[in-house]
Amino acid sequence: MISVDSAPFTPRCPPESIVFDEVRGEVVCVETGEVLEDHMVDYGPEWRVFSHDDLISKKRVGAPLTSKVHDDGMHSIVDRRTPIGRKLSRINRGIRISSRNRRLVKALKTMNSVIGSLNLPNANELREEAGRLIKKLYSKGLIKKKNLRAMVAAAILIATKNLDTPVSKSDIARRCMVTLQELWRAEMKIRRDTDVAVKVKPMDPRQYVELMANSLGLSKQSALLALKIISVAKKCGLTSGKGPRGVAAASLYIASILLDERKTQKEVSRKVDVSEVTIRNRYRDLIDNLVIVVDV
């Protein structure tokens, strides 16, 4: 009887010569051509990456998770072009949207609609930020039937502040169909009654200049001059404790006078949604404390 030892095969190949063939799923020695291991499973991503943003936004397969919808995008999409597809789509919708999360669905739908109507360049980031906040508020039981629109408006307002996006508070309130007082109460309730980490930082007045200049029909030269006025005012501490919209409006008003594109305070107030009293006070602060040299 002949016995054969079943000793494991040990390749005579230096470690630096062993490579992994991603196409074939094999570990190969480039010196001897030996296949050391095959049928290996590739646990890497199943797509081609064209930018760094694509790399960090995707996980393994499918669309990335999102806070814009109540189920984070983890749902099936049914083709509705056939009668059976439409029936299955209704069933799928009933499963996705239960009576327990119907209010959250309505809040997120309102949020997406309002941010879409604002026509902002970073609308997708705003939706994600506001969606995360709305979900936190809903989990705390703060979103009720009566205050739903006010809480959505407050979430959008906080998201714009966190992302340094210049949006008027009255514009958000109008699009959410709530009063400024209701919006203020909802914002105070979020800050006071929750442990949600809300980064509410003051906006830079310069963020509003371009938007306001477009509303007033002013030239780029006026906008640039207003930016210079705000920069000098910040260095002198004149913007501390002052509303950023008022400082931006007053700087544009001064720039329009200096560059002979004169706008009245009433016109500026109406176009940029800042009261005439605020524009007049900020105008006086800047004129009395800054030395503006005009070459004739």
Chain segment 13-53, per-residue pLDDT in tens: 787 888 887 777 788 888 887 888 887 766 655 555 555 55
- 89/223: higher pLDDT: 223
- Whole-number pLDDT of residue 139: 86
CA dihedral 156, 110, 129, 206 (to 10 degrees): -40
Q: Which of 30, 76, 80, 22 is nearest to 46 (CA)?
A: 22
Lowest mean pLDDT among 50-59, 82-91, 194-203, 267-276: 50-59
Q: Which residues pair with 18 in a beta bridge?
A: 29
Give whole-number Cα distances, 25 to 15, 60, 262, in Å. 18, 18, 71
Residue 39, C-beta contacts closer than 8 angstroms, at least 6 positions apart? 25, 26
Each residue of 154-170: pLDDT tens digit?
A: 999 888 888 888 888 88
pTM over 0.75: no
Tokens of 134: 């709305």
pLDDT mean over 263-290 = 89
pLDDT mean over 244-267 = 90
Q: What percent of the chain has pLDDT over 90?
A: 24
The confidence band for 277, taking pLDDT boundaries of 50, 70 and 90, is very high
Each residue of 111-154: pLDDT tens digit?
A: 999 999 988 888 888 999 899 899 988 888 888 889 999 999 99
All domains of the chain in start order, with CATH = 102-193 (1.10.472.10), 206-289 (1.10.472.10)
